[in-house]
């Protein structure tokens, strides 16, 4: 819901580094690999998550709409490191398997 503080746990077990990006929001890193962050707040727009790493992040839900959290290496994103962020009460006209036949671009 708009205005809420959202906490997210990001885990990578893929064997590759993923620069994860949260559209429409900046997040503060709360912990990395279970160790609480210390010192000045670590604000990120994207965050490199190495294989075996995990991060706890938080952001304020202050940009209502439909967003995507994804790996900024787009060939990776087309293979799965993507999450859908949607605010309560926000709708969209698109449906998986609809008549538009949209598909991700293929890596060369």
What phi-psi label fits residue 77: left (phi over 0), alpha (psi between -120 and 50 degrees) or beta?
A: alpha
Percent of the chain with pLDDT over 70: 81
DSSP sequence for 24-91: T--EEEEEETTEEP-SS--EESEEEE-TT-EEEEEEE--S-SEEEEEESSHHHHTTS-EEEEE-TT--
- pTM, rounded to two decimals: 0.77
Domains of the chain plus CATH, in order, are 5-86 (2.60.40.420)
pLDDT at residue 108 is higher than 60: no
The mean predicted confidence, pLDDT, of the chain is 84
pLDDT at 79: 73
pLDDT at 95: 66
pLDDT at residue 43 is higher than 80: yes
pLDDT in tens, 45-95: 899 999 999 999 999 999 888 887 877 777 776 677 677 788 888 877 766
């Amino acid at each position: 819901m708009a205005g809420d503080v959202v906490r997210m746990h990001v885990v990578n077990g893929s064997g590759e580094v993923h620069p994860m990006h949260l559209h429409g929001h900046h997040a503060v890193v709360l912990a990395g690999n279970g160790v609480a962050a210390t010192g000045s707040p670590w604000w990120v727009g994207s965050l490199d998550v190495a294989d075996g790493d995990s991060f706890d992040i938080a952001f304020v839900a202050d940009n209502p709409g439909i967003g995507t959290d994804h790996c900024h290496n787009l060939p990776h994103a087309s293979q799965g490191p993507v999450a859908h962020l949607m605010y309560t009460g926000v709708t969209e006209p698109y449906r998986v398997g609809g008549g538009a036949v949209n598909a991700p671009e293929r890596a060369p």
